[in-house]
Amino acid sequence: MMTLSTAEQQRSLHQTEALLGIARRLLWWLPPEEGLAQRALFIAQVMTLGTWDDVEIVRDALGEPALRSTLKEPPPGVFDLPSWHYWHRRFGLEPAPSLPKRRLP
């Protein structure tokens, strides 16, 4: 079993606290822990409404593949058109497909 050093534990705790703070601010209608549990929604909100610092914190904690994955299977209704096109260009995934749409029953 691998154990984390004290520095790694502190970094992990700091990242978790930072992620909870971002979730609290950007997913205000959910408890922060629940917002983090809905990973694609959380990441999409950060990519659309977060500050650059928020994006960097999430990228550092979850990895760039998590952001790319969110673009491939985004939750509908979260991304706005400028953010959608920015992130596709940023990751070299052009042309960007149409924005995902919510399906109404």
pLDDT tens per residue, the chain (105 residues)? 555 455 544 455 557 889 999 999 999 999 999 999 999 999 999 999 999 999 999 999 999 999 999 999 999 999 999 999 999 999 999 899 888 887 777
Task: Give Dmax (Cα) for the chain.
Answer: 51
Q: In terms of Cα–Cα distance, which of 95, 91, 4 is closest to 55?
A: 91
User: Both tokens of residue 21?
Assistant: 């703070």
In-domain check, residue 78: yes
In-domain check, residue 61: yes
In-domain check, residue 44: yes
Ramachandran assignment for 77, one of left (phi > 0), alpha (psi -120 to 50 degrees), beta (any other)? left
In-domain check, residue 7: no
- Range of 36's domain? 13-90
What pLDDT, on a 0 to 100 scale, did the predictor assign at position 63? 93
In-domain check, residue 33: yes
**Structural domains counted in the chain:** 1
In-domain check, residue 56: yes
What pLDDT, on a 0 to 100 scale, did the predictor assign at position 5? 57
User: Both tokens of residue 41?
Assistant: 């929604």
DSSP H or E segment with residue 2: none
Q: How far apart are CA 22 and CA 28, in angstroms?
A: 9
In-domain check, residue 63: yes
What pLDDT, on a 0 to 100 scale, did the predictor assign at position 94? 87
- pTM for this structure? 0.83
In-domain check, residue 100: no
